[in-house]
Structure 1
């Protein structure tokens, strides 16, 4: 068996212990894999016939809960739904490169605990694809480079398509097609302006909010989103 001798600058030497080095070697390889894998998957997700799943969907499968999801191309989703989600979640989606730095500065400059975040649709997409729920500075730090990478690798059209097909719209309900069927008994292509607005308002808290039974607060916000969606022409050009 070949032995590795390490020579020091002072003239001394010692035998290296391969068994001791092996765990660190595997740990290094694992860390490289964890870093590289999301970027490799983003390249794979450029292909239109690839239908990504979210970490929450994987969790439901592991827990044997199952989930509802039917992939639908963006062109088969009612434009009013796309516009409503964009106006509700990320009004500058077409103009930023993954991160809305102006909104980020407003949140960071706010005193005390921020009342709202600055998550863009690309940030939410990579969070759903690769990360976990819950507020965390660690997760947010990982979201930023991944969101920029997603915006560099994927088109705006593809990012929106993936987001609307993996986002959670209720317990075990993922994607707009499953949500449209569950809440309104119709396909995503047939959603009207009011239904689209209620689905958009549901997204910040899909477990507690029911698009088919909106609270007074949801109705009020839904009307605002509906008006914004109707006047969103200058903001939604990148997905038309």
Structure 2
């Protein structure tokens, strides 16, 4: 009986702690993420420079949405429900799921969780995602994503990536450079935005074409 108050306090902390951090990071820069610490332990020094959303060329969030999450601006609670339905159908028919991760889900994972696909991590991600979607405006989700996402070993955020790969700031990124950055996001430890092979160049060209086709689906980018 004596331990019950402590258990209640622990449960309350686990319930409210992430929400309080999400509220704090609504305006504060994110200093470090679990993935950054993991890569640092693997021998990759952290290279990151936080910049405001307005200091990132609009070509980059457009390219990232075109590459990673076409419905980002119109999503409810941070989930792509049509894609999730497709995942369930694929599983039902014994097919390999293609993935339904959204930018908001990726921010939730990067902020609080570890890399991997284990069920516990996915469950926690699903719990944290709607909190982010409800407590942050979409522009803030993009700002945090573009400042903490991994572009290479130990390389995080638009500013550090732009300088490392192209010798320029994030504000000066061209549409082609933005597409080359977006295209490496699925495998940033293996692919280089500075030296993309033929397949990556073809994929970057596809992303640029898709940006031109999305139209009002990019309204939240600004």
Could you state the TM-score of these two structures normalised by the residue count of structure 2?
Answer: 0.90
Aligned residue-pair number: 219
Give the one of 121, 127, 151 matched to 2:133: 151
Which residue is equivalent to 1:183?
A: 165
CA offsets, 1:32-84, max 9 Å, x none? 3233211111111122x433532112334567753000001111111111100
Superposed counterparts of 1:58-207, under 5 Å = 58-60=37-39, 65-97=44-76, 98-110=78-90, 111-112=93-94, 114-207=96-189
2:19 maps to 1:39 = yes
From the CA coordinates, give the structure whose radius of gyration is larger: 1
Map of 1:55 onto structure 2: 34
Point out where structure 1 has 5 or more consecutive residues left out of the alignment: 1-15
Separation of aligned partners in 1, 2:132 and 2:158: 21
Partner of 1:235: 217
The superposition leaves residues 86-141 of structure 1 with CA deviations (integer Å, 9 ceiling, x where unpaired) of 11111100101200110011012113353421000000000000111111222222
Of structures 1 and 2, the one scoring higher in RCO (CA 8 A, sep 6+) is 2
Structure with the bigger percentage of helix: 2
Instruction: Tell me if the contact between 1:68 and 1:174 (Cα under 8 Å) persists in the aligned partners.
Output: yes
Unaligned runs of 5+ in 2: none
1:13-32 matches, cutoff 5 A: 21-22=2-3, 26=6, 28-32=8-12
- Rounded Cα–Cα distance in structure 2 between residues aligned with 1:39 and 1:181: 33
Deviation, 1:233, is 3.0
Kindly indicate whether the alpha-carbon contact (under 8 Å) linking 2:22 and 2:135 is maintained by their aligned counterparts in 1: yes
* Superimposed CA distance per residue, residues 183-211 of structure 1 (whole angstroms, 9 cap, x where no aligned partner): 11111111111111111010011001111
Q: Is the 8 A contact 1:52 1:166 kept in 2?
A: no
- Using the size of structure 1 for normalisation, the TM-score is 0.84
- The alignment partner of 1:94 has SS state of helix
